[in-house]
Structure 1
């Protein structure tokens, strides 16, 4: 079920040869938004993007549409695109979806020791990259490797459509993590420890324990202030 990741492009700005000028513009803008160099509420215009990229307004317009598809801007007719903010509801929905897909991925490989071993090796490489990013104080790189870690678990299930959808959400996942760890290396170190804990049930093929560990990771990493009120209400209806 685990496919080769030789040609895997994790996030748009990692693509060394984007298929078009529009994608190159969109990728650069996405990185700026994820890093916080373009903040929520800022207005982007076609003219601004075109001038910065040395391109015409047509690819800049296409780039704006792509940024909206990634959930990073909201288009306003005849004005441009407003950089979106991550709301509590979006944060809850994104991490819940990611956890659901990860749990399913581990359920599918639980009975296959060889595939679990391959996945564990890939995750250890991701953990090593996370440590290096922390040591260098590069929280963007850490956030990127956080996305890599979780997407590899999702991809382990072997569902190409699910993997494609999860990868399309990569910029939003990266922004979520970067917001959580930005200016807080201790929070990033906590993420790393939580990731290391996820390896244990994964390697043993204990899907229920992995599910519990993922949910704990979400609560500790993304909701340290306590249960989300809307999520608690939803739990009461189940």
Structure 2
């Protein structure tokens, strides 16, 4: 499988370059579910040795984007309705708890709100530019910023590992239904407003509706 090159930050390590290259191809759908890729393919695309690519593959397997088969290569994992529902249920559980905890620290709400407002703008700009990878990344950062308010390093680690799969879900929705993008961004603004005024009950209801409608799933939890 020949992959197109992606840009990478100056100074990024070879492992980071390989990881980002493959992760973006999977999140964007350039590499479809069940596609087979090899260390040699990626190494040749990026002009790297196979060692950093092997490390990147292991990291991608740890976040659920690849399944490795020794001496054969790696298969891109599939996304089905069960996994989608399970991922979003975890998001609801962690995010609603974070909002509850933030409500107990009202002095921090303004700072969080400012960051969420900036992320909504980033998402809006990315959508206007047709950059669905940046749009999906900003979507995840919006929700992750709220989860950060648990101030729990274990939860932060769990949510970080879910990030690439959640970004893939968001990208898939945007690519399949571009008309939904403006509505989903507006729903982020509504979530931020509920957070700003400390209405945790309204936030909970709005979050569930946001995820259920965005991913066309039955009522969750």
TM-score by length of 1: 0.84
**Residue of structure 1 in register with 2:81 after alignment:** 88
Of residues 204, 207, 218 in structure 2, which corresponds to 1:227? 218
Of residues 147, 150, 154 in structure 1, which corresponds to 2:143? 150
Cα shift readout 1:127-160 (whole Å, capped 9, x = no counterpart): 1111111221222211111011100110122222
Of residues 208, 212, 215 in structure 1, which corresponds to 2:205? 212
Q: In 2, are the aligned partners of 1:23 and 1:66 still within 8 Å (CA)? A: no
After alignment, is 69-78 or 143-152 more displaced?
A: 69-78
1:197 aligns with 2:190: yes
**Residue of structure 2 in register with 1:22 after alignment:** 15
| Separation in structure 2 between the aligned mates of residue 14 and residue 127 of structure 1, nearest angstrom | 24
Q: In 2, are the aligned partners of 1:134 and 1:185 still within 8 Å (CA)? A: no
CA-CA distance at 1:23 after TM superposition? 2.8
| Separation in structure 2 between the aligned mates of residue 51 and residue 128 of structure 1, nearest angstrom | 37
Paired residues, number: 215
| Structure 2: gaps spanning 5 or more residues | 1-6
**Residue of structure 2 in register with 1:4 after alignment:** none
**Residue of structure 2 in register with 1:62 after alignment:** 55
Cα shift readout 1:147-181 (whole Å, capped 9, x = no counterpart): 11100110122222212221222111110100011
Cα shift readout 1:68-126 (whole Å, capped 9, x = no counterpart): 11211111232100111111111111111111111111111102222111111111111
1:179 aligns with 2:172: yes
**Residue of structure 1 in register with 2:4 after alignment:** none
After alignment, is 130-139 or 172-181 more displaced?
A: 130-139
CA distance 1:227–1:183, shift in 2 (3 Å):
closer
* SS of structure 1 residue aligned to 2:20: helix
TM-score by length of 2: 0.90
CA distance 1:94–1:47, shift in 2 (3 Å):
same
| Structure 1: gaps spanning 5 or more residues | 1-12
Of residues 108, 112, 125 in structure 1, which corresponds to 2:105? 112
